[in-house]
Amino acid sequence: MLDEVELIKRVAQKDEKAFSTLFYLYKNRLFYYFYKVLEDQEDAEDLTVETFLRIYKKADSYRGESKVSSWIFGIARRVYLEHIKQKKHSIKTLEIYESDAVDDTPPINADVELVKKAIDKLSPQDREILFLAYYEELPYEEISKVLNIPVGTVKSRVFNAKNRLRIILKEMGYEGE
């Protein structure tokens, strides 16, 4: 199987087989991203298709300065933000599972529902940064490219979001670290 950089190069040459392979690799991840943000299956499907159309049209603009996944999620994020602007929805970002939000290892004896509720109380910015860092497992350098912010800002936002999550969890009665 081709690596993702080679796939993008072939998609830029309008290779339909390469595009089908890329679609297969990312369709579920992109749909999940949009569905968690919008909580609307139809809109998530539409935005997934729109993202792939843009990937197909703009594949020749991939310069290799970031991972392919970061480039794709950067496109997806712009599609999402345009959708929000068009529909004037309030920004609602992603629900992250407790093992993804608190640390690399889940808190011992944590109540999953409690953690989900705590995550819902975070700001959209905090939820988004934790989603990219822990659910998508993007390195800070890649997150900085997706969000168009310096790496130091990414580190600071992740640190602060995790601290705010810990505070919310304590306020909700969680006694862990």
pLDDT single digits (tens) 138-158: 889 888 888 889 999 999 999
SS3 83: helix
Q: In angstroms, rounded to a whole number, what is the distance separating the alpha carbons of residues 40 and 38?
A: 5
Is 72 within 8 Å of 12 (Cβ atoms)?
no
Q: Could you report the per-residue pLDDT of 2-56, keeping only the tens digit for each?
A: 799 999 999 999 999 999 999 999 999 999 888 877 778 999 999 999 999 999 9
Model pTM?
Answer: 0.60
Would you state the pLDDT for residue 53? 93
pLDDT digits (tens, 9 = 90+) for 75-112: 998 898 888 877 753 344 344 433 344 444 444 444 66
pLDDT reported for residue 84: 80
What domains are there in the chain, each with its CATH number?
4-87 (1.10.1740.10), 98-171 (1.10.10.10)
